[in-house]
Structure 1
Amino acid sequence: MSKEELEHQYSPSRWVVCRGPEEALKTYLQMGSHVGLY
């Protein structure tokens, strides 16, 4: 997967729609720490 595809798939703005902002932010931060990109 390219970086663009990853960013699209794990985009916080998409998560906000399905999960709500707090849950999305938590998941985003967790994923970032696991992947090591952020």
Structure 2
Amino acid sequence: MKNKVLRSLVKVLTVAAFVCASTSSLCNCYEPEKPASLR
């Protein structure tokens, strides 16, 4: 039971990290005037 929960948690975290990275890269593409320190 714990293994299933851990696997689902890892999947959710991986998807969340992927979405976060893609969203930040899209924001960087659309807002080039924003300084890099605000990433």
Is the shorter-chain TM-score for this pair beyond 0.5, marking a shared fold? no
Q: Into which bin does the TM-score normalised by the smaller protein fall?
A: 0.3 to 0.5
* Structure of greater Rg: 2
Structure 2 length normalisation: TM-score? 0.42
